[in-house]
């Protein structure tokens, strides 16, 4: 049983589903020939280091597969050579170190730094909303709320005013000056994506604040 890895570049001018179709066609071709696909790596659209066929970028895909047949590679390469969607391809037979390297890479044991950063970025974008966009919440309060399990607008909008007040009072005397009456309404707007209305509301609130300061 040999393990191979074929990397190929698909013409980026094709529509998005065509590109996926081209990649899937080769997956199917391999599967039909009783190969087991180990992994498909969508490396994505990349700038080419030099133009090929007047193209300056290409969509990279990498299929890793196992096969015990000898003739599968020439068969697949012939299909790729005839395919106008494929700009370029390269097939490699992996040795045991190559197999281990790819396995480690998939499981995040190589390039730890990168995976950590990505995970953090995902956390920030997926779970956490920027609560400070709500008028009256500053970074300190948003920290306090996130500790209490409120990390998104939706979560904040579900809480009642008393809940938020009790969270604030737990944070200490510094938080007593905050007035959470409008926060749930604002969070509801933010959760719905109703930003124009939210901005209107914020302007009103800000105006009210400045009046009270003048007094």
Residues that bind another protein (CB under 8 A): 7, 9, 43, 46, 48-50, 52, 58, 60, 62, 88, 90, 92, 95, 97-98, 100-101, 105
Rounded to whole angstroms, how far apart are CA atoms 65 and 25?
Answer: 14
**Rounded to the nearest whole angstrom, what is the least distance from the CB of residue 91 to another protein in the complex?**
11
For tokens 């994506």, the residue is: 193
**Rounded to the nearest whole angstrom, what is the least distance from the CB of residue 173 to another protein in the complex?**
52
Q: What are the φ/ψ torsions at residue 155 (nearest 5 degrees)?
A: -65, -40
**Rounded to the nearest whole angstrom, what is the least distance from the CB of residue 169 to another protein in the complex?**
51
Q: Are 87 and 52 in contact (CB under 8 A)?
A: yes
Q: What are the φ/ψ torsions at residue 88 (nearest 5 degrees)?
A: -160, 155
Both tokens assigned to 64 = 């890793």
Nearer to another protein, 55 or 165 (CB): 55
CB atoms within 10 A of CB 71: 9
- Give the residues across from 93 on adjacent strands: 4
**Rounded to the nearest whole angstrom, what is the least distance from the CB of residue 197 to another protein in the complex?**
46
Nearer to another protein, 89 or 183 (CB): 89
Element (H, E) at 2: strand 2-10
The CA distances from residue 15 to 141, 151, 157, in Å, are 46, 38, 40
Nearer to another protein, 82 or 96 (CB): 96
Nearer to another protein, 46 or 206 (CB): 46
Nearer to another protein, 7 or 161 (CB): 7
Both tokens assigned to 54 = 């007047």
- Give the residues across from 66 on adjacent strands: 3, 36
**Rounded to the nearest whole angstrom, what is the least distance from the CB of residue 150 to another protein in the complex?**
40
Handedness of CA 120, 106, 64, 27 (dihedral sign): negative
Nearer to another protein, 46 or 204 (CB): 46
**Rounded to the nearest whole angstrom, what is the least distance from the CB of residue 104 to another protein in the complex?**
9
């Amino acid at each position: 049983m040999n393990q191979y890895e074929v990397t190929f570049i698909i013409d980026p001018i094709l529509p998005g589903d065509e590109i996926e179709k081209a990649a899937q066609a080769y997956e199917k071709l391999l599967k039909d020939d009783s190969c087991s696909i180990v992994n498909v790596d969508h490396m994505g659209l990349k700038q080419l280091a030099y133009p090929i066929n007047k193209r300056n970028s290409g969509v990279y895909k990498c299929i890793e597969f196992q096969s015990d047949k000898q003739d599968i590679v020439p068969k697949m390469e012939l299909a790729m050579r005839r395919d106008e969607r494929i700009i370029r391809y390269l097939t490699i037979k992996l040795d045991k170190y190559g197999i281990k390297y790819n396995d480690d890479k998939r499981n995040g044991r190589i390039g730890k730094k990168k995976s950590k950063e990505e995970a953090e970025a995902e956390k920030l974008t997926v779970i956490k909303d920027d609560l400070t966009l709500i008028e009256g919440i500053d970074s300190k309060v948003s920290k306090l709320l996130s500790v209490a399990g409120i990390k998104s607008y939706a979560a904040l909008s579900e809480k009642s005013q008393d809940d938020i007040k009790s969270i604030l009072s737990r944070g200490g005397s510094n938080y007593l000056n905050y007035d959470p009456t409008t926060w749930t309404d604002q969070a509801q707007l933010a959760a719905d994506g109703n930003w124009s209305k939210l901005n209107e509301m914020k302007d009103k609130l800000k105006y009210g604040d400045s009046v009270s300061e003048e007094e």
